[in-house]
Amino acid sequence: MAQFWAADNRTAHQLQGQDCQGAPVVPAICLCYTLGMENTTHEPALNSTVIKELREALSNLMIVEDITVLENKPRPMVRFGGRLVSEQDNGEFETVIERFKRLGYTPMLSIEDDQHIIRALPAVASEKTGKPWVNAVLFILTVLSVLSLGAFREEVDLIAHPLQIWRGWPFAVTILGILTAHELSHYFVGRRYGSPTSLPYFIPLPLSIIGTMGAVIVQRGPMRSRKALFDIGIAGPIGGLVLAIPLLFIGLALSYVGTPQEFMDLPPGEPIPVMQEGNSLLYMAAKYITHGQILPNPETGRDVWLSPPSPGGSVAFAAWAGLLVTAFNLFPIGQLDGGHAAYALWGHKAWKLARIFVGVIFGWGLLLTIMGNQAGSTWLVWGGLSSLMGPRHPPPLNDVTPLDGKRKLLGWAMIAVFVIIIIPVPLIQSVIG
């Protein structure tokens, strides 16, 4: 059952016991609803005071033309139709959010059939952002996990010498620094927009390639606007890149170049299976800038050596991994950072792009798997995660006000960044002899 209110800006008076047909149109007063094919008129069963207060809260934002009450409850969901006073949001919608919040409601602004619509939802996002001790425990466990992996990379026998775990600090500090910069950038920008954003939840994953699955931040309510959605989403990758790129160059500059035989004391010419990290455009350029040659060399097998005795090997590898994770997060899918930016830029059109991207990820992963490349499983995992989280990004509260020109330009710049940091084949297994 839907109930309809009609309103304009004329003087309000209540119609009681009258047929609404032909009655003067007044603000949030005349209640008409249909049940099946029968028109019925009677005293409102709803809390008309709530409807009136919600309409008054919209006074600076919208010229209300019609009101639809979607539920027969004391605190119903209400749909306001009309047109905005101004197409540019100069803070009016933020004011409406706060007014609705005091009434226990949340507004959602959209466009339907060339009419501006605000849906008043009888709920408010919780201000609780979790228990900090949980974040602390997960962070400590993640530190131990990446320290262990770092120590293993430094050829430390942790079973015989567990106290030597500290020697994994170059890898641990680098990868955790990149992830922390990424997540705290989300956190602080989210807080600036008044979003109920949690502290980062780090996820330890011992015995994996980087010792962690990264970190997540829980947003306990919808984003306020496309501007907020874009700024919060893009802040993480920018924060991580600001740290990852310089650390990559530092690590590479401190790493040696040679063949596995040179570093492993093997006879020259003896074939040896190796697992090499794949190249992105940025990684290949960084190796060329720091060492003056395209690496790896397909003829000689020479490449940067990211294990001992290279002093910067662990730093370079952690930065490489941080850039890989950043690239995956820039996929324009669902709740990933790229999904936030894509929806902020293109709205519902981003849903189709996300579905296409999920298909491409699965297709590329299957192709690599069929070719016997272990990197195929990485792409299939990300395809599975993307499908589980859903490719469609939920709309923000204000889904009408578009991004300004500067943010659109930054969005296209981040697409270019994605192109130069994505690694199509993250791991390459080959035999060098």
Q: How far apart are CA 402 and CA 349, in angstroms?
A: 14
The pLDDT, as a whole number, for residue 270 is: 67
Length of the chain counted residue by residue: 433
**Helix or strand (DSSP H, E) at 430:** strand 427-432
Amino acid at 181: A
The two tokens of residue 74 are 């004391």
The two tokens of residue 63 are 């010229």
From first to last of its 433 residues, what are the pLDDT tens digits of the chain? 333 333 333 322 222 233 333 332 222 222 222 223 233 233 344 457 888 899 999 988 889 999 988 887 888 899 999 998 887 777 888 899 999 999 999 999 999 988 999 999 998 887 777 889 999 999 999 999 999 999 999 999 999 999 999 999 999 999 999 999 999 999 999 999 888 889 999 999 888 889 998 898 888 778 899 999 999 999 999 999 999 999 999 999 999 998 887 887 777 666 777 778 999 999 999 999 999 999 998 888 789 999 888 999 999 999 999 999 999 999 999 989 999 999 999 999 999 999 999 999 999 999 999 988 888 888 998 898 888 888 889 999 999 999 999 999 999 999 999 999 999 999 887 776 6
The pLDDT, as a whole number, for residue 34 is: 27
Largest CA distance in the chain: 101
The pLDDT, as a whole number, for residue 47 is: 59
pTM above 0.75, yes or no: yes
Q: How far apart are CA 112 and CA 199, in angstroms?
A: 36
The pLDDT, as a whole number, for residue 24 is: 29
Q: For Cα atoms 98, 201, 223, give the angle at the middle one, nearest 5 degrees.
A: 25
400 and 227 in contact (C-beta within 8 Å)? Answer: no
The two tokens of residue 188 are 């602080």
210 and 378 in contact (C-beta within 8 Å)? Answer: no
Is the sign of the CA dihedral 355, 361, 365, 367 positive or negative? positive
User: Assign residue 218 a region: left if phi > 0, alpha if psi is -120 to 50, beta otherwise?
Assistant: beta
The pLDDT, as a whole number, for residue 269 is: 65
Burial of 23 (0-12, 13-18, 19+ CB in 10 A): middle
Query: Strands 115-121 and 78-84: what pairing?
Result: antiparallel
The pLDDT, as a whole number, for residue 433 is: 61
Q: How far apart are CA 16 and CA 18, in angstroms?
A: 5
Residue with tokens 């894509």: 342
Other CB atoms within 10 Å distance of the CB of residue 114: 6
The pLDDT, as a whole number, for residue 145 is: 96
Q: How far apart are CA 37 and CA 150, in angstroms?
A: 72
